[in-house]
Structure 1
Amino acid sequence: MEKRTLGGELQVSALGLGCMGMSDFYSGRDEREAMRTLEKALELGITFFDTADMYGVGENEKLVGRALRPHRDRVIIATKFGNVRAPDGTFLGVNGRPEYVKQACDASLKRLGVDVIDLYYQHRVDPNVPIEETVGAMSDLVREGKVRYLGLSEAGPETIRRAHKVHPITALQTEYSLWSRDVEDEILPTVRELGIGFVAYSPLGRGFLTGAIRRFEDLPEDDYRRHSPRFQGENFQKNLRLVEQVERLAREKGCTPAQLALAWVMAQGNDIVPIPGTKRVKYLEENVGALQVSLTAEELREIDAIAPKGVAAGDRYPEANMRLLGI
């Protein structure tokens, strides 16, 4: 397994594993298959695992902890705080207050069953709390030995710079894929200037770029993607045309659409680590196969032509969620 380095210090596998869907948001959860997937990831050389306290309202951290604790010396566990949910899953808002940061960390450590969190992200920036106060509390966790490295998720350039002055930020996690390239304008240049690594979540466009979703009706009733503008109405049909082009290029390359999409993300720089999420072994194995796909300069130009910035129809999230991102 190829390795990549985040923030100049934190070495992780070139491909990570997003664990959210094992416990939340996507339909068809199966804990036994999720455990098999986590174990297979270790077998395939993946060392970088991503979770958050909001996924399954803590259940995902427990699941990840059970699977990874026996292998603690060779894995990097990343988790997040800030998106607050009630026990029934109701979203209660974003909390970046210093006292909450420390409470959330202690709760995550307990659920994971570990002594230290390798990479601790603020999941969403709290607009009511100066970033300096939040990151100041996070830096206290580093000094206390509860956290090794700090990260931010979906933060803007100015926020990243302010945070980095308080304590070195090792990684920024933000959506990045063939249909979500807006980070190329300001975010990627900012983190590269500061020496911050970039973790790309949803590198397969929430599964859409794999070609497995052909109709809105293919999404189960309890699948949160039904609420995503990109999966609805005319947007769905327009985005399907992009997928058809990705499928064509993948056939010519002799790989799957998912592998092509992941290979493209990894080709954007050695400081980028995609974390495709899956809860099934067969898709995990397919994703890891992307490491064997090498794209030529000509192929990259052709991909850019069919998937330029702004190609996707519809916003990444529903309007209320976009407001949380300050967009």
Structure 2
Amino acid sequence: MLDRQENEMLTREIGRSGIEASAIGLGTWAIGGWMWGGTDEAKSISAIQASIDEGISLIDTAPAYGQGVAEEIVGKALKGRRDKVVLATKCGLVWHTQKGNHFFDYDSGPVHRYLGKDAIIFEVEQSLRRLGTDVIDHYITHWQDPTTPIDETMEALELLKTQGKIRSIGASNTTADDVRAYLDAGQLDAVQEEYSMVKRDLDASMAPLCIEEGVSILSYSSLALGLLSGKVGPDRVFEGDDQRKGNPRFSMANREKVARLMQAIEVVADAHGATCAQTVIAWTVQQPGITFSLCGARDAGQAAENAKAGRIRLSAEDLAIIDAAATKNLTNLDG
């Protein structure tokens, strides 16, 4: 029997910001096309708008997703709908300057990790323009810059908040020490980190720290780039610049282990009238400290499927079944 709350989208506050958003968010890395085999603008806009229609209010993007492509698509999709969403974007991966720490190269040139005050002030204006908005609800340092003191970074972010250009502050791809440094320098409302059944290192130190300090965790890759979607079987072939091609986590042996896990999850999913992917996402946001799950979608169908995960309430028995199956099948997962 379905819980009576299962018709309602789960919502939570981002840290201590007072900003409330759906626990399931739309992540737009794939929409940018880079490392995902290109993008289809019309389908991407449909995915964003379908997410909103299905109750997702948290939209997460970044300049680095296709060097502005994802932000521009998000901006187009939100015309007339901006008031319905909590909009998050990022700073700190730059190509307008070579200050900071070299990170990787696009075809067009080098990208650096740089969180100096000058770059943040420049970047926020570019993002506001591409997104077609005058305020960013949640502004996140994308990758940490070893060349700039966190005090300087937070000074810039706090200034932007005072100016009304951003409403809350987040940091991504951090360590527990980074989080402590941000907290010492100002109000950090959230961190954004990779977390899934196959990557649970946050459980050890980050999650307890964030719970103690009132910092939300926005998890990304909850489906482990599709590995835990129930749709990537042992026979799947990855082509082009798809980052999963050659990724050891997607080895044939691993996909066979995950297939066995999915058999156990399917029992729980069926009891909730849900898919395996929806059940995995629901499990994610019921883990201690994990406040939000950012899920990618490249078309309206995927968006609608992800949104339904926010209406599932797994019981203690459901969680125990899933955890036992994960322990049995994922403990020695390579990659």
Q: Normalising to structure 1: TM-score of the pair?
A: 0.88
Larger fraction in helix: 1
Give 1:267's aligned amino acid.
Answer: Q
Question: What's the % identity of the aligned pairs?
Answer: 34
Deviation at 1:235, TM superposition (A): 4.2
Contact 1:5 1:271 in 2 (8 A): no
Q: Work out which of the residue numbers 13, 17, 23 in structure 2 matches 1:5.
A: 13
Deviation string, structure 1 residues 55-113 (Cα, Å, up to 9, x no partner): 01101000101111322222111001122356636552311222112111111111112
**Does 1:19 find its partner at 2:61?**
no
C-alpha distance in 1 between matches for 2:72 and 2:38? 19
Deviation at 1:238, TM superposition (A): 4.2
Deviation at 1:52, TM superposition (A): 0.3
Deviation string, structure 1 residues 130-177 (Cα, Å, up to 9, x no partner): 222222222121122211110001211111011012111111111112
Deviation string, structure 1 residues 283-318 (Cα, Å, up to 9, x no partner): 222222223332221221121122249736234xxx
Deviation at 1:223, TM superposition (A): 0.8
Contact 1:211 1:247 in 2 (8 A): no
C-alpha distance in 2 between matches for 1:42 and 1:271? 22
Contact 2:72 2:131 in 1 (8 A): yes
The 5 A counterparts of 1:224-303 are 224-232=243-251, 234-247=253-266, 249-251=268-270, 254-269=273-288, 272-303=291-322
C-alpha distance in 1 between matches for 2:143 and 2:87? 19
Give 1:6's aligned amino acid.
Answer: I
Q: Work out which of the residue numbers 146, 151, 174 in structure 1 matches 2:165.
A: 146
Give 2:26's aligned amino acid.
Answer: L
Q: Normalising to structure 2: TM-score of the pair?
A: 0.86
Give 1:66's aligned amino acid.
Answer: K
Give 1:45's aligned amino acid.
Answer: G
Deviation at 1:255, TM superposition (A): 2.3
Q: Secondary structure at the match of 2:80?
A: helix
Give 1:58's aligned amino acid.
Answer: G
- State the number of aligned residues: 315
Q: Secondary structure at the match of 1:63?
A: helix
Contact 1:176 1:201 in 2 (8 A): yes
Q: 2:68 matched to which residue of 1?
A: 58
Q: 2:107 matched to which residue of 1?
A: 88
C-alpha distance in 2 between matches for 1:269 and 1:307? 17
Q: Secondary structure at the match of 1:69?
A: coil
C-alpha distance in 1 between matches for 2:83 and 2:271? 41
Deviation at 1:236, TM superposition (A): 4.4
C-alpha distance in 1 between matches for 2:172 and 2:234? 30
Q: Secondary structure at the match of 2:37?
A: coil
Q: 1:319 matched to which residue of 2?
A: none
Deviation at 1:237, TM superposition (A): 4.3
Greater Cα shift, 52-61 or 295-304:
295-304
Contact 1:173 1:200 in 2 (8 A): yes
Deviation at 1:270, TM superposition (A): 7.9
C-alpha distance in 1 between matches for 2:64 and 2:162? 25
Pair 46,89 (structure 1): closer, same or farther in 2 beyond 3 Å: farther
Identify which of structures 1 and 2 has the higher relative contact order when contacts are C-alpha pairs closer than 8 Å and 6+ apart.
2
C-alpha distance in 2 between matches for 1:51 and 1:112? 10
Identify unmatched segments of 5+ residues in structure 1: 316-327
Greater Cα shift, 85-94 or 5-14:
85-94
Q: 1:158 matched to which residue of 2?
A: 177
Give 1:50's aligned amino acid.
Answer: D
Deviation at 1:116, TM superposition (A): 1.2
Deviation string, structure 1 residues 256-300 (Cα, Å, up to 9, x no partner): 110110110122258611111111111222222223332221221
Give 1:192's aligned amino acid.
Answer: I
Pair 281,78 (structure 1): closer, same or farther in 2 beyond 3 Å: same
Contact 1:22 1:60 in 2 (8 A): yes
**Does 1:104 find its partner at 2:123?**
yes
Q: Work out which of the residue numbers 142, 146, 151 in structure 2 matches 1:127.
A: 146
Contact 2:59 2:86 in 1 (8 A): yes
C-alpha distance in 2 between matches for 1:159 and 1:137? 17
C-alpha distance in 1 between matches for 2:110 and 2:331? 30
Q: Secondary structure at the match of 1:151?
A: strand
Pair 139,312 (structure 1): closer, same or farther in 2 beyond 3 Å: farther
C-alpha distance in 1 between matches for 2:45 and 2:332? 34
C-alpha distance in 2 between matches for 1:312 and 1:286? 30
Identify unmatched segments of 5+ residues in structure 2: 1-8, 96-104
Q: 1:313 matched to which residue of 2?
A: 333
Q: Secondary structure at the match of 2:318?
A: helix
Q: Work out which of the residue numbers 84, 87, 91 in structure 2 matches 1:77.
A: 87
